[in-house]
């Protein structure tokens, strides 16, 4: 798989032990599923391999190698860790439960990334990647891995009064600490990703059991929304009170008036859309697809081309809001945003693809 930083300088601080290239013999040799790192790289390789009709031997071999090793990161219960270095251990398969110890002061583990993880949309991105691999190569292992991951999500749903999901679990499938500002809790963000993932798996496979956990989770979302319609990132175990951290000391609090700015302690609620999707999938109806017109796509593409500066870059001015990776930029400071780059490249690609289809 892949890590966040790739450095081909043998003397670089972030240089890893790469299969090919200028790596370090004693460099990092672990791969990350956090923030869609390995998944996005692998999806790109699969798409390129397919576009080249599997004729580029190096790309084809590297893609299959990555798929093989992603499958070794799946635990017997279907879950995945945040980071893996080698085939994961075989742990007992149990159903999720609340911690039977004082989770506020106990249960902190430094290498939390080795345990079952749902943080930052891991379930959805891993599922999408494995399903793309299945559709492209018809490798039955990938389809089975998606089913296993779906079964893990069913196991990982906490019981009433909080039939939802946590960011991080120990091997007893109890919510556990991750970073110092990520306590054991029910999470408003990852719960929504899990619901979306279960809907995806149910629709793609036709397996109705993946819909079973969703109604209770949607009811939990409805009664847990904040007065402004948002969801708290964390809800205290069993009490379901929104849980926050103080800005400087990272102490647990119910007060949301002095939050750290580098992390989203509140997230949007997508409950109504998820409910509509559940209703649609339950009835076996296909999703409506409305493509954007070529004329509109052409306007979008022209606009992003005009936004390039004299050196061919898209420049962004910092608006003061938190950024991924938490760089320390002042409001108004200019930088090159990878998010903007990807969005604009997608707009250009959408137009090129649509125009190509029209020419046929």
The string of pLDDT tens digits covering residues 151-169 is: 999 999 999 999 999 999 9
Distance CA 157, CA 151 (A): 10
pLDDT at residue 317 tops 80: yes
Element (H, E) at 5: none
Segment 208-225, tens digit of pLDDT: 999 999 999 999 999 999
Candidates 3.20.20.140, 3.40.630.10, 3.30.565.10, 1.50.10.20; CATH matching 90-283: 1.50.10.20
Per-residue CA distances from 173 to 75, 93, 118, 273 (Å): 12, 9, 12, 29
Q: Report the half-sphere exposure of 331 (CA within 13 A, side-chain side).
A: 3
pLDDT interval class at 326 (50, 70, 90):
low
pLDDT interval class at 6 (50, 70, 90):
confident
Closest CA to 128 of 42, 66, 211, 54: 42
Q: Which percentage of the chain shows pLDDT scores above 90? A: 80
Contact 322, 263 (CB under 8 A): yes
Distance CA 222, CA 19 (A): 48
Q: What is the dihedral of CA 349, 32, 137, 346, to 10 degrees?
A: -10
Contact 278, 214 (CB under 8 A): yes
Element (H, E) at 271: helix 271-283
Distance CA 93, CA 82 (A): 19
pLDDT at residue 21 tops 70: no
Count the Cβ atoms, other than its own, within 10 Å of residue 179.
Answer: 13
pLDDT at residue 284 tops 70: yes
pLDDT interval class at 73 (50, 70, 90):
very high
pLDDT at residue 28 tops 90: no
Segment 29-70, tens digit of pLDDT: 889 999 999 999 999 999 999 999 999 999 999 999 999 999
Which pLDDT value is given to residue 139? 97
Per-residue CA distances from 132 to 68, 129, 246, 281 (Å): 14, 5, 41, 20
Residues 9-36, mean pLDDT to the nearest whole number: 81
Residues 122-135, mean pLDDT to the nearest whole number: 98
Of 76-80, 116-120, 352-356, the poorest mean pLDDT is in 352-356
Q: What is the dihedral of CA 194, 70, 83, 59, to 10 degrees?
A: -120
Domain positions in the chain: 90-283, 294-359
Q: Which percentage of the chain shows pLDDT scores above 70? A: 98
Count the Cβ atoms, other than its own, within 10 Å of residue 68.
Answer: 11
Question: Mean pLDDT of all residues in the chain?
Answer: 93
Contact 217, 191 (CB under 8 A): yes
pLDDT interval class at 205 (50, 70, 90):
very high
Question: Strand pairing partners for 231?
Answer: 267
Q: Is the dihedral of CA 307, 310, 313, 317 positive or negative?
A: negative
**How is 166-194 classified by DSSP, letter by letter?**
-SEE-TTS-B---STT--S-EEHHHHHHH
pLDDT at residue 194 tops 90: yes
Phi, psi dihedrals of residue 352, rounded to the nearest 5°: -60, -45
pLDDT at residue 249 tops 80: yes
User: Which tokens go with 327?
Assistant: 């760089």
Q: Which residue has the higher pLDDT, 316 or 357?
A: 316
Phi, psi dihedrals of residue 151, rounded to the nearest 5°: -65, -35
pLDDT at residue 8 tops 80: no
User: Which tokens go with 209?
Assistant: 């059991």
Distance CA 100, CA 81 (A): 22
């Amino acid at each position: 798989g892949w890590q966040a930083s790739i450095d081909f300088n043998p003397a670089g601080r972030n240089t890893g032990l790469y299969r090919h290239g200028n790596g370090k013999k004693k460099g990092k040799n672990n791969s990350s599923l956090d923030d869609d790192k390995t998944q996005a790289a692998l999806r790109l390789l699969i798409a390129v391999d397919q576009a080249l009709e599997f004729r580029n031997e190096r790309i084809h071999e590297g893609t299959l190698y990555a798929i093989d090793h992603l499958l070794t990161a799946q635990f017997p219960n279907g879950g995945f860790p945040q980071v893996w270095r080698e085939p994961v251990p075989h742990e007992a398969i149990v159903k999720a439960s609340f911690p039977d110890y004082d989770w506020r002061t106990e249960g902190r583990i430094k290498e939390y990334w080795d345990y079952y993880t749902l943080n930052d949309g891991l379930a959805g991105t891993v599922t999408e990647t494995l399903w793309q691999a299945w559709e492209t190569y018809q490798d039955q292992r990938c389809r089975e891995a998606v089913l296993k991951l779906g079964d893990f999500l069913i196991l990982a749903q906490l019981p009433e009064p909080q039939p939802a999901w946590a960011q991080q679990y120990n091997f007893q499938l109890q919510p556990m600490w991750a970073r110092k500002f990520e306590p054991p809790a029910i999470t408003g963000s990852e719960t929504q990703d899990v619901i979306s993932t279960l809907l995806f798996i149910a629709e793609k496979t036709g397996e109705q059991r993946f819909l079973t956990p969703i109604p209770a989770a949607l009811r939990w979302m409805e009664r847990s929304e904040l007065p402004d319609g948002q969801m708290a990132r964390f809800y205290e175990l069993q009490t379901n009170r929104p849980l926050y951290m103080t800005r400087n000391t990272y102490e647990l609090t119910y007060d949301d008036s002095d939050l750290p700015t580098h992390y989203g302690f509140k997230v949007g609620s997508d409950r109504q859309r998820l409910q509509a999707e559940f209703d649609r999938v339950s009835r076996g109806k296909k999703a409506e697809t409305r493509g954007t017109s070529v004329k509109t796509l052409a306007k979008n593409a022209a606009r992003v081309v005009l936004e390039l500066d004299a050196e061919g870059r898209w420049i962004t001015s910092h608006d003061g809001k938190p950024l991924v990776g938490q760089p320390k930029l002042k409001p108004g400071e200019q930088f090159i945003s990878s998010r903007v780059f990807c969005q604009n490249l997608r707009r250009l690609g959408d137009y090129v693809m649509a125009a190509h289809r029209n020419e046929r």
